[in-house]
Chains A and B, each alone.
Chain A
Amino acid sequence: MSSPTWIRRPAVVWVSDAGDADPNAPVGAMILTGRQALDATRRRSLSASLRELRARGATVKTTPDASPETKAAARQLRSRLSTVNPARLAEVARDIGEPDLSEALSGWPAHVPVTFETLANATRDNDRAWSLSRTARLLLALEHL
């Protein structure tokens, strides 16, 4: 049994003047026009498909010869999908079905970096010293990848 196809493909949002007709768009990318990208950034909350792509670590790309408006829209969408702010990661954690992590991230201390290890520590069962949850196991495995 192979892993799901989406894992083996880079998660990309492709912002293009040509929209769906752009032959340069990577396989499996979500293709948006500049206007659609701009609309997505202006909405109060992200659409389910964009939230899923953010959870997969999506990057926002455009062609070098795109119009300035399309490039600006791509830039705004990139910023909206960025998870630099831990509060955004709290949303992502909720989206991927990790409520404990979401809770931990919503009150994340500013001086603590968000790493596999610190996240794993946040999910340990505090009642039992060092007892590893499934989530902590996965995070610690990734820490040592």
Chain B
Amino acid sequence: MRDIVDRSGLRVAVVSLQRLGDVLTGARVTDGLSRRRDVASVDLVHWDQTEQAAGLMPGVDVCHPLPYGALRARGRVHPLAALHALGAVVELLERRYDLVVNLSSTRFACYIAPLLARDPTGIRGPFMDDDDGYCSTHPSGLHLNHWGVDPRINVFAHRDLYALAAGVRLLGLPTLPEDPSAQAQCDSSLDPRAPAPIALHIHASEPSKHWREQLGVHGWQGLIRRLRYEFNRDVVLLGAPSDAPELDHLAHLTGARVAAWSLRHTAELLRRCAGLVSVDTVTIHLAAAVGCKSIVLRQGSARGNAFLPGSQTMLLDAITAPATVEDVANVAAVHFFEETPIGHRLEAAARRIRLRRCDHESCGLLGAASPAWWPAPPEHRLDDMLAKTWRAAWHHSWSESERPAALLDQLYRHRSADPHRYARAFADPGPLGEWLRANDHAARPAA
């Protein structure tokens, strides 16, 4: 957290009542707001369960943890007990802020956010108005609410929608500040003469995001051995302190090391790693925030664009089956160690998994596309291109009044290849829907 300075200016609250990884994805917002000349202070309102992530956020002066478990527990006893507790918590923050930036589209946050603002005009992002209607001060907030996380239709990383709603610039991501105490722990745990290790995070927050079994040659045990021997580097298993016994067992079988540390210390460790292989979890956002390359093994609800962590990330999405040990090792060779890809190893993999690299596009939005060396099937390349076109079209519709004719033509020509997105956007009441309908009407007679 930055030092509090005594200067006049706006008092800002950023509301991020979400999970650990979601809190970290708001780093660009807290950092961007804190750099504004007219801002005196930036406070972060978050759940007490995300204290570790909140403590890492750049530009934040004071964190206000709301007691999630305690509120739930009181609600189970009787509603007034929860009301009493929430009222006491909110009272401490009520009407204290000139600007309230809500990064959470949950109803809870949307009801609470207006209570924190001195003035109803001081809200950014989604909120519930006095008529109990869902509103957003920027179309990106409504887009997030309507299009959500569905991997078939959503094309935006949520972090970009947050930044747009907060009015901070898209280009560039802040790097988490270095931490001397965490550096000391890494110094004592890692051999400075040894090559940078590879980090692995094996535990997902929900079973549908798990990659493969822990033991056996086809699971994490096999992957650890393969990475250790193929790249001649240490493998460090990451996880929460509560994961330590399980990780210790896996380490005992494979010769890996265990670093079941706090997020602050894990961030420092990731700075020193050659790369991270992980399921979809907070660690991928941490890696992105310290500039560590990563490979994310995604299946189930983890797919799609909503939770893209940042550039320098490779996404391995299961199509017919999760990536194999061989797939991960091949991608690690290219992504972490810049080895030349070997084509015949990749052809079969490209039928089972989808590989995409995250990068910032020219307008600053984060996208994902198959790298040139990956033998992606044509439909994946087309989907990459269309997702990029949709991002540009939506972004344009939120900031410009002129119709982007070339983008609309491209979307129209490929509408049968992208029916879900096209149909939803076509019916959208905003400018893009209007443009698509006008474009469709103009193009049909000629078609």
Contacts and interface: CB of A to CB of B under 8 A. Distances in A.
Interface string A66-98: 000000000000000001000001001100101
B182 interface: no
Contact of B93 (A1, A130, A131): A1
Contacts of A115: 79
A116 interface: yes
A3 B80 contact: no
A92 B74 CA distance: 14
Nearest to A101: B80
A29 interface: no
B74 A3 contact: no
Interface string A40-77: 00000000000000011111000000000000000000
B400 interface: no
B145 to A, nearest CB: 13
Pick from B48, B67, B78, B109 the residue with the most CB of A within 10 Å: B78
Interface stretch (B82-90, B154-162, B239-247): B82-90
Secondary structure at chain B's binding surface: helix, strand, loop or mixed? helix
A48 B68 CA distance: 27
Contact of B83 (A59, A130, A132, A135): A135
Categorize the interface residue count of chain B.
35 or more
Contacts of B107: 140-141, 143-144
Contact of A3 (B62, B75, B88, B132): B88
Interface string A115-145: 1100100000000011110110111111111
A8 B66 CA distance: 9
Nearest to B43: A1
Interface in B211-242: none
A94 to B, nearest CB: 10
A137 B115 contact: yes
B84 A55 contact: yes
Nearest to A119: B79
B92 A145 contact: no
Interface of A: 1-4, 7-8, 10-11, 55-59, 83, 89, 92-93, 96, 98, 101, 114-116, 119, 129-132, 134-135, 137-145
8 contacts: A2-B64, A7-B85, A11-B74, A96-B83, A115-B79, A130-B132, A140-B132, A145-B82
Given A92-B80, A141-B108, 16 more contacts: A3-B88, A8-B67, A56-B74, A57-B78, A57-B81, A93-B80, A116-B79, A129-B131, A132-B132, A134-B115, A138-B83, A141-B86, A142-B75, A142-B86, A145-B82, A145-B108
Interface of B: 48, 62, 64-68, 70-75, 77-90, 92-93, 106-109, 111-112, 114-115, 128, 130-132
